[in-house]
Structure 1
Amino acid sequence: MNDRIRGFDGLRALAVLLVFLHHKAMAEGSGLGHLGVWIFFALSGFLITDILTSQRRYIDAGTSSFAAELKRFLYRRTLRIFPIYYLLLATLALMIAIGFAGHDVLAGVPFHFAYLSNFWIADVLHHWPGRYSHLWSLSIEEQFYLVFAPLLLAVRAKWHVPICCALCMMGIAALIGMKAVHAPAIVIYTHPLTNFWLLALGGIGGALLRRGAAFRRCVKPLPVALALVICVAMLCSVEPAWEAIASPLRFTALYVLYGASIMALVCSIASGESAALIRVLEWAPLAALGRISYGFYLYHGFIPNFTKSNRIIAMFGASGIPWWAHALSAIASFVLTLTLAKLSWRFIEEPILRLKNRRFTRKTESSEASPSALSR
């Protein structure tokens, strides 16, 4: 695959904007945030599976070893993900220590450092912890890498798609089982198995796009891409109501349809045939946001939502906060997050990426993407 897939940076930007709107634009009850995260998961599975399959082919050809390729993968992932993530957590820990942040979040810091935020949220807190909520998806990503990379590198490349299929089946079974035993919605939402399957599905989509001429013909026309956009938007609009569905099979069927639609949309864009849609996604400001979207995603939760401060609430009194104040708050949060993400990219991420690419890039490897590697 090409080093850069046209349209993917724009898709990353749209995904991170959906998450931002969910948290900052009074859209907490919507499905926007979940859609944004699932787009990232599908992108990540699509690209990471291709990278691991390419690496395994070197092992199959006898020109490399399992240890060397695993080291290569983990080294590159570490350089992409860890620096600003742990810098942020270290800053947070320091702020707690000197009294500039509440000690109510202290218990969660070890979970964040160990990439176990999803378990902290679902099994310890049992509720969303506000500005730290988005860290759950970064934990899912890291857990996926630690399981998936050794597994795919340990077996021949021809078995990678069957392994992805098996992981999808496990995820679907987990969805049915958790719903059947009335697991809390937050557990279903954040459990590794109920999210790994979408990353694996992205990997299957990438394989089908590369090897399946019939699948490529199905997803590449512009009308198909637009139909998938409409389908995903419609499913997103009704997703919050799925929690009330009693039937485990119906609940799971909707989730599978949702995930499959997202995967098909990613594949449609990757096919490069939907020129009009790709031109929109390649719009310079959108693509630029996509390139810095990891930092944007990571930092946005820690930028204040100004209309939730007690001072602002008291200012407007019983009449409530007007819509324009919420809009101004969202704009201010966006500008601050964007500025921080740009500075992070310019002075931390980009120099480290140059080091990563200089030491471990092969021409046959594709670019990488995820909620924790949202841009290359």
Structure 2
Amino acid sequence: MTVGVRASRAMASPDGGHSCGPDTLAADPRSAGASSVIATPFLLPLLIGVIERCHSRAGPSITDLNGRALRTAFALEDTHMNNRIAGFDGLRAIAVLMVFLQHRLFGDIGEIGHLGVWIFFALSGFLIIGILSTQRQRIEQNGSRFGAELKRFLFRRTLRIFPIYYLMLAAMCVLMRFGMASPELASGMPFHFAYLSNFWIGSVLHYWPGRYSHLWSLAIEEQFYLVFAPLLLLLAARRHLAVCAVIVVTGLVSLLAMRAAHWQEITIYTHPLSNFWLLALGGIGGLMVAGKTSRLRAWLGHSVTLFVLSLCLVGFCATEPAWSDLDNPLLFTAVSGVYGVCIAALVCSIACCRNAVVMGLLEARWLANLGRISYGFYLYHNLIPDLTRNHRAQALFGGVVPVWAHAAGIAASFAISLGLALLSWRIVEEPILRLKTRRAHADNAHSVLARTAGVTVTTRQGERSEHALTDEGTASDAARAHERGTHIAQE
């Protein structure tokens, strides 16, 4: 996904609002401070390896336990409020606040909205690809069927995404019927209903349609699910890392080709091939940290690694107005690739982190609660009219709206968006998620019963063959051995 500053400005303001990002600050790599910061991530694995080796006899390390927690979260398909990965709700809240401030301040604080959207993409890839990999393992190990697993995945995604999305579109149709919505909405409504908003914006309009521009990112995620969920469920789980790597390479090559061909920035920005690679990067991170290698989790989860990654992202975000206008397509693609890797690494770092201070901040009640309703907040926030950047407000204040009025307008927009998201969560999303959780528990129970039945059939077949070939005493010994095997399988 290209990160052109002109596209980002247009996303923030359909009226052509300006962006005044900070000047690029070049750090001297020869300085001792910069050298120590750059060298720290490379020295950490060696130090952590020595510490883990010294404590290997004391039992499983906390990173081993965290890896089990990640695998459990994927296996339980991130159901409802339980079995969630600590810190992710806080990260969602930070990301949605970035997008909100970008839209409300019209780019006056840099390009933080773009960073927020990419964080959402990496988070989705981390979780969804991990879930699909677990479902594929269920096919390989437990005899489940491709069709059943694909149906389960799509059913769960539908319950999570569709209800409030289509309720919002229905409300927009009502407003449009009474002349209370912009004329652009009528031409784009078929695209919105089909989750093709990105094509409508990038290939039909070629500009950002104000209040409905944020729907493009939801279309990208849905398209990713529809294309790659069947593929990952068909291919062996051991090949999923390779598939994700191919998606990343394809995305970056496509980005390079689009820039070299001088496509419109908004077309590149909203194209699926320019965005899928970041979801795949998040998936690569999720598959790697959920594996059995504790050293990688220890390095990623270290607070110093998290701090360095955060600084890198702040630097990328602050200097984006400069590097997003690079004329060299190869250099632009390289910078975008490094930016995406840092974002995916940050997501993995939070998933592996067990630093009490960091987790205390990310798991703060207000932040975690906002992250829990972030989908609804993201969906509604851009639909709330700006209360101070309009002709009525300018006329009220004599032409120039004071800063305090702008701040009050932003606070009011936030409160309205938050209220709508809370109502949506209580009335629609939470009850549906309970249904989703009950369905998941029923599926898991059915899977356990199927495995138990399969082992029992094998036991009985073994008993019959033993009776046919040996005497009664030998057959009894074989039956007891099978019973022990059945008990272990059930556990």
Q: Same fold by TM-score, threshold 0.5 exceeded? A: yes
Q: Which residue of 1 aligns with 2:461?
A: none
Query: Displacement, 1:363?
Result: 6.6
In the alignment, does 2:287 pair up with 1:207? yes
1:39-89 Cα shifts (integer Å, max 9, x gaps):
011100001011000100111124210000000000000000000000000
Report the equivalent of 2:54. Answer: none
State the secondary structure of the residue aligned to 1:289.
helix
- Aligned alpha-carbon RMSD (Å): 1.5
Q: Does 1:30 align with 2:110?
A: yes
Contact 2:300–2:353 (CA under 8 A) maintained in structure 1: no
Please say if residues 41 and 198 of structure 1, whose CA atoms lie closer than 8 Å, have aligned partners that are also in contact: yes
Q: Is residue 87–residue 350 contact of structure 2 (8 Å, CA) maintained in 1?
A: yes
Q: Secondary structure at the match of 1:27?
A: coil
Match of 2:346 among 237, 259, 265: 265
User: In structure 2, what residue type is equivalent to 1:297?
Assistant: Y
Q: Tell me the residue number matched to 2:244.
A: 164
* TM-score normalised per structure 1: 0.93
* CA displacement 1:240-279 (0-9 Å, x = unmatched): 3333201111101111111111111111110033332111
Separation of aligned partners in 2, 1:104 and 1:202? 34
Counting matched residue pairs gives 363
1:130 aligns with 2:210: yes
CA distance in 2, matches of 1:340, 1:14: 18
- Pick from 72, 76, 86 the counterpart of residue 156 of structure 2: 76
- Give the Cα separation in 2 of the matches to 1:326 and 1:151: 48
Following the alignment from structure 1 to structure 2, what is the Cα–Cα distance between the partners of residues 118 and 197?
A: 16
Contact in 2 for aligned 1:222/1:276 (Cα 8 Å): no
Q: Equivalent residue for 2:405?
A: 325
1:351 aligns with 2:449: no
Please tell me whether the aligned partners of residues 185 and 243 of structure 1 are also in contact (alpha carbons under 8 angstroms).
Answer: no
Query: Post-superposition shift, 1:188?
Result: 1.7
Query: Residue 113 of structure 2 aligns to which amino acid in structure 1?
Result: G
Q: Which amino acid aligns with 1:331?
A: A
C-alpha contact (below 8 Å) 1:268/1:274 kept by paired residues: no
Aligned-partner SS, 2:85: coil
C-alpha deviations, 1:333-362, integer Å up to 9, x for none? 000000110010001000011011111356
Aligned pairs for 1:1-376 (under 5 A) are 1=70, 2=73, 3-27=83-107, 30-211=110-291, 212-318=293-399, 320-361=400-441
SS at match of 2:84: coil
Deviation larger for 2-11 or 267-276? 267-276
Distance (Å, rounded) in 1 between the aligned partners of 2:296 and 2:260? 34
Partner Cα separation in structure 1 for residue 94 and residue 179 of structure 2: 36
What is the CA–CA distance in structure 1 between the aligned matches of 2:191 and 2:109, rounded to whole Å? 26
- Residue 325 and residue 363 in structure 1: after superposition, are their counterparts in 2 closer, same or farther (change >3 A)? farther
Kindly indicate whether structure 1 or structure 2 has the higher relative contact order, using CA contacts under 8 Å at least 6 residues apart. 1
What percentage of residue pairs aligned between the two structures are identical? 56
Query: Please, which runs of 5 or more residues in structure 2 have no aligned partner?
Result: 1-69, 74-82, 446-491
The one-letter code matched in structure 1 to 2:355 is S
> CA contact under 8 A between 2:255 and 2:274: conserved in structure 1?
yes
Q: Distance in 1 between matches of 2:89 and 2:235?
A: 31
Q: Which has the larger radius of gyration?
A: 2
Structure 2 length normalisation: TM-score?
0.72
CA distance, structure 1, for counterparts of residue 376 and residue 108 of structure 2: 21
The runs of 5 or more residues in structure 1 that have no matched partner are 365-376
8 A contact 1:29–1:240 mirrored in 2: no
Letter of the 1:126 partner, please give it.
H
What's the CA shift for 1:29?
Answer: 7.1
Determine the C-alpha separation between the residues in 1 that align with 2:196 and 2:109: 25
